């Protein structure tokens, strides 16, 4: 009787342990994957074709294969 309870207890503990252990790991791996994919884009700096100022790629305007730091530079280039 005691042995059966022990086995059941161990099985429940193992299931719970596995369940709680795998959940945070999945979250961590998802977060790190997001960070890795975001980092190269955010750090990439491109030179403005008009004024030569370096700006973040996300903030730049791409026109005819050239990057411009602002709309003013894009209008000046045309
Ligand atoms: Zn510019």
Q: Do residues 54 and 68 share a domain?
A: yes
Q: Please tell me the total count of domains within the chain.
A: 2
Domain span at 67:
44-78
Distance CA 26, CA 32 (A): 10
- CA distances 28 to 15, 34, 35, Å, are 21, 10, 11
Q: Do residues 14 and 35 share a domain?
A: yes
Above pLDDT 90, what percent of the chain? 51
- CA distances 21 to 7, 15, 16, 28, Å, are 21, 10, 8, 11
Q: Do residues 56 and 74 share a domain?
A: yes
Centroid of ligand 1 to alpha carbon of 43 (angstroms): 18
Centroid of ligand 1 to alpha carbon of 48 (angstroms): 5
Q: Do residues 2 and 35 share a domain?
A: yes
Q: Do residues 78 and 63 share a domain?
A: yes
Judge whether residue 60 has pLDDT over 80.
yes
Distance CA 12, CA 53 (A): 62
CB 71 within 8 A of CB 61: yes
pLDDT digits (tens, 9 = 90+) for 18-32: 888 776 555 565 555
Centroid of ligand 1 to alpha carbon of 38 (angstroms): 24
């Amino acid at each position: 009787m005691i042995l059966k309870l022990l086995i059941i207890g161990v099985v429940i503990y193992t299931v719970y342990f596995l369940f709680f252990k795998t959940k945070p790991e999945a979250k961590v791996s998802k977060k790190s994957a997001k960070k890795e994919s975001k980092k190269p884009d955010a750090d990439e700096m491109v030179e403005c074709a008009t004024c030569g100022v370096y700006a973040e790629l996300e903030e730049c305007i791409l026109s005819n294969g050239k990057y411009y730091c602002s709309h003013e530079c894009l209008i000046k280039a045309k």
